[in-house]
Chain A
Amino acid sequence: MSAETEHKHAGPGRYVAVWIALLLFTALTVALGRSHLAGSWGLPVALAIAVVKSTLVVLFFMHLWDHGGANRLVLATALVFVALLIGLVLLDSATRFPLADPPTEATMRLMPPGPGAPPGVEPAAARP
């Protein structure tokens, strides 16, 4: 068992290499953030660098490179649910219309059918 674990466990050189890469990526993201070179792409670029950095940490500092299987599945599942949460919340917020009282044409068209529906406007479900 000792030989096998020794085989699975890399030397300190790999940790130091990852550390240097993380420092370089930090310098890169600070330089890009300060100079505003990326313009409106600033957020995607900064997030992409953060994803690369965190991938390095997860794979080599947290050993997901060597210990795959269920451990990777657990982390991936958590990340999928965080992505769902952020994505759906933003989608919901981005597709709302301003509430208005009295209702406007746009809000009335979205109103469900029923006794509360205002006269003169066909509720959404009644239209073909």
Chain B
Amino acid sequence: MPAAESHVAHHFPDLEVQSHAARLGMWLFLATEVLLFGGLFTAYALYRMLYPSAFHGASRLIETSMGALNTVVLITSSLTVALAFHYSRQSRNRLAALLLVATIGLGFVFLGVKAVEYAHHFREGHLPGRFYRYAGLQVPGASMFFTVYFLMTGLHGIHVIIGMGVLTWLAVGAWRGSYGGDYTTPIELGGMYWHLVDLIWIFLFPLLYLI
């Protein structure tokens, strides 16, 4: 397959070795992402241990149904990006591109729901630190919950936006037929990044919305 061989860098013997190396490199990067979010999960665990009842009360202020909706949206977007990889393997590039576009659309839905939630919190004064001004729950630690909430969902939201940027680039490439067959590494790695974003949310949802 001459088209695929042209993707192999000169220091790799063949495409399969190159794909293995790329995949391992991506896992190393994702490990650093896990550690990055690990710091925030540590902060969450510590402050939840110090202020259990404040965290319980403050979590009532965020709408469970919105979080559940966003969970379904992200899980479905993980499916569409996985299917995009699958059809790219079969060189059905247009279908793969459309599935990537659907994933980006679900990313927009996620961000829209999050924006509605954020707007509500800004109106009600559910804000971090000294900006917290919600009269209905005035206990030590309530502002700390929203500090952790905004840091975790904010960093996650930034990852969603970056992921959507990567997927846009991949969708254009897939539509033009740059990938397909044995050469699908960009779609595989971009998909792994998107799955990690889903993975983080799977933990954020119960910890923030369901306590």
Contacts and interface: CB of A to CB of B under 8 A. Distances in A.
A26 B72 contact: yes
Contacts of B192: 62
A49 B207 CA distance: 12
A30 B65 CA distance: 9
Q: In the complex, which range does the number of interface residues on chain B fall in?
A: 35 or more
A71 B27 contact: yes
Which of A2, A33, A34, A89 gathers the greatest number of chain B CB atoms within 10 Å?
A: A33
B41 A11 contact: no
Given A30-B210, A54-B199, A86-B38, A16 B89 contact: no
B76 A78 contact: no
Given A62-B192, A79-B34, A81-B38, A26 B203 contact: no
B45 A2 contact: no
Interface in B25-49: 27-28, 30-32, 34-35, 38-39, 41-42, 45-46, 49
Interface residues of A, number: 46
Contact of A82 (B15, B35, B76): B35
Interface in A17-43: 18-19, 22-23, 26, 29-30, 33-34, 42-43
B202 interface: yes
A74 to B, nearest CB: 4
B211 interface: yes
Given A50-B202, A62-B192, A85-B38, A9 B64 contact: no
B185 interface: no
Interface stretch (B79-87, B119-127, B147-155, B165-173): B79-87
B75 A19 contact: yes
A57 to B, nearest CB: 5
Q: Is the interface of B mostly helix, strand, loop or mixed?
A: helix
B45 A86 contact: yes
Interface of B: 14-16, 20, 23-24, 27-28, 30-32, 34-35, 38-39, 41-42, 45-46, 49-50, 64, 68, 71-72, 75-76, 78-79, 82-83, 86, 89, 182, 188, 191-192, 195-196, 198-199, 202-203, 205-207, 209-211
Nearest to A67: B23
A77 interface: yes
B63 to A, nearest CB: 12
B132 to A, nearest CB: 23
B31 A61 contact: no
Given A54-B203, A57-B78, A57-B199, A77 B31 contact: yes
Contacts of A47: 203, 206-207
B133 to A, nearest CB: 28
Contacts of B42: 82, 85-86, 89
Contact of B211 (A43, A82, A89, A90): A43
